Amino acid sequence: MATEASIGIDQESEPFLSALDVVLLTAIIVVSAWWYIKNYKKKEDASSQKSYSIVPTVTNNVPQATDNSFIKKLQSSGRSLIVFYGSQTGTGEEFASRIAKEGTKYGMKGMVADPEECDMEELTRLKEIKNSLAVFCLATYGEGDPTDNAMDFFEWLHNGNADLTGLRYAVFGLGNKTYEHYNEVAIKVDKKMEELGATRVFELGLGDDDANIEDDFITWKDKFWPAVCEYFNIESTGDDVSIRQYKLTEHTDFDVDKIFTGEVARINSFKNQRPPFDAKNPFLSAIKVNRELHTSGDRSCAHIEFDIEGSKMRYEAGDHVGVFPENNVELVNKIGELLNVNLDIVFTLTNTDEDSSKKHPFPCPCSYRTALTYYLDITSNPRTHVLKELAEYASDPKEQEMLKLMASTSPEGKQLYSKWISENNRNIIHILEDLPSVKIAIDHLCELLPRLQPRYYSISSSPKLYPTTVHITVVKVEYMTPTNRLIKGVATSWLATKIPNEESPPKVPIFIRKSQFRLPTRVQVPILMIGPGTGFAPFRGFIQERDLYVKEGRTVGETILYYGCRKKTEDFIYKEELNEYVKNNNLKIHYAFSRDQEAKLYVTHLLTENANELWRIIGENNGHLYVCGDARNMAKDVHNIVLKVVQEKGNMSETEAITYVKKMESQKRYSADVWS
């Protein structure tokens, strides 16, 4: 075997290149030169021709390779106001945009920023910009957690010791009072900012989505601006003009393969599916089963099974599945009719703020029909800033005055908005129907409407039994409004039409969202579950899993369920399955059929009656307690009962009982999966 020393022994005895080597090298150089000139000429010719093809743009859902220094962006564009948002459903981002836009009226040019895309350590340098102000619109999500895009910022702020001296700030929180950890993120950020030396320019604002978060926001905002003016010694310019955020381009010549047709972020992602699948890249799942669970009555509850085989998606009992729905085609067409526009025109909305990381409000280019079907929320109550813009398009003075009044912050305006919009549950279509002189430009409407959000459902299966399917249990939403209009739930009504067949099963974009709602790691630990109605959904997966362990010969702790519905003969879902578990002594159930007797009976009544059993599980045996369902009433009632039982059966004071229950929550022995 040759070594490095022996390889060059004869180098001096022979010429470096032979005559043949020279000939071959010359030929290679000549051919290479010819190829380069030929291809360069091609590129030159091509570049001299104008191309009108559409290049699909990437939405802000996909991380961009851009400079994350917000200080540089503020300095280069002459701005002093930056509004950060922590948003899970889009409301926080919307509020942030409204504050930034209004800054112009006060001589403070603003910028909206996603903390996930910014170097948040630069907050320590914001004071370098004259009259600078940072505003935070932060939602609280889950069990008092920050939203996904604000998680890193929240952890940096609370785990570090940054010097924020000289930073001026204000915080508005978005929460829901039906949840225990109401606005916890905003409260903590506001407090921590001050502790680190920052100066609070205006008091913390707290919005309650269970009441009227729009009213909470505009009330706070209308006091916020005068405080800002006083602090910085500035005045309002008085100009209250409408400023469009996006520029319209309508396309007449385009390649259909470069047009978005409902994809979340990557064009043609539904045709060319590539893992990993998540909220930005959902899996197009075939529906294998869609069957009715109610045996009678005028309500509908469906058991639906999504096929995830080959997706590489994994889930655990207690997780959620996110579903991207479509708006009703009749509602979409109605907008086209009311505004007299061709919904099949392909267009692009481009942000006029070149420094913004959000180049488009949704995937562009697409048709107006696609935007209204897949990307925009057309069924929720429009907020006041939308009504303000609608007023500019009203040709009837009375209709214009009415819209302006509802968009104002006057007591009369708030009262009219509450009655005419909120109580009567009017959406954009209803407004256009009832105020026929309003003919808003379709592109402006697309700019104003919020994004259509995915719907989340508790998974009602265990992967240990069903590794290739995800089950959900869904009540179809339908009701009449005070104006005699039938309202249909966007996702539930859409899913109801997805009836599987062998030839071409319907497909739905889905993804898995992880949860903290988990069975104890030790199967010997007893569990007590409280889940009336569809609140039973995650417990179906829990019970399946515990039953499997028993069949495998393992020692499993007590499994107790408090189950409730209206009538035993009407809406007792999964009756046969539950009866089988009870028959095999693998499950104990307390039933509450609320309307099968004269006096209504609920799971909370049974829980109170069985106080000894509750204490035996959570007190004497360190078991786990789970609650799933309505947050506004049921979950609160259960919490109060638990506190009372702990206090009485555990011989504790009220303070000791509260501490005990909080410890259970911190140890994940008391978990809630609730909604309002």
Q: At what angle do helices 397-407 and 384-391 cross, to 10 degrees?
A: 150
Torsion angle defined by CA atoms of residues 412, 415, 418 and 421, in that order, rounded to the nearest 10 degrees: -40
Cα–Cα distance between 481 and 490 in angstroms, integer?
16
Residue 458, token pair as written in the block:
């508790």
DSSP state of 455: E
Ordered strands of the 366-367 beta sheet: 246-251, 346-351, 366-367
Q: Residues of 172-200 as b/e, b for ≥16 C-beta within 10 angstroms?
A: bbbbbebbbbbbbbbbbbbebbeebebbb
Greatest Cα pair distance in the chain: 113
For the chain, how many helices (H) and strands (E)?
20, 23
What does residue 549 show for φ and ψ, rounded to 5 degrees?
Answer: -60, -40
Residue 65, token pair as written in the block:
């390779």
Cα–Cα distance between 322 and 328 in angstroms, integer?
19
Residues in the chain: 676
CB atoms within 10 A of CB 153: 22
Residue 299, token pair as written in the block:
């309500």
Q: Do β-strands 624-630 and 527-530 pair in parallel, antiparallel, or remain unpaired?
A: parallel
Torsion angle defined by CA atoms of residues 519, 521, 526 and 530, in that order, rounded to the nearest 10 degrees: -10
Task: Name the amino acid, one letter, at 154.
Answer: F
Task: Name the amino acid, one letter, at 516.
Answer: Q
First-to-last CA distance in the chain? Answer: 77
Please tell me whether residue 400 adopts helix, strand or coil conformation: helix
Residue 466, token pair as written in the block:
């069903």
By CB atoms closer than 10 A (0-12, 13-18, 19+), residue 411 is exposed
Cα–Cα distance between 318 and 626 in angstroms, integer?
11
Question: Do the Cβ atoms of 69 and 77 come closer than 8 Å?
Answer: no
Degrees to nearest 5, angle at CA 84 with 280 and 276:
15
Task: Name the amino acid, one letter, at 110.
Answer: G
Residues with a known catalytic role: 458, 628, 673, 675
Question: Do the Cβ atoms of 274 and 311 come closer than 8 Å?
Answer: no
Question: Do the Cβ atoms of 228 and 202 come closer than 8 Å?
Answer: yes
Cα–Cα distance between 219 and 172 in angstroms, integer?
11
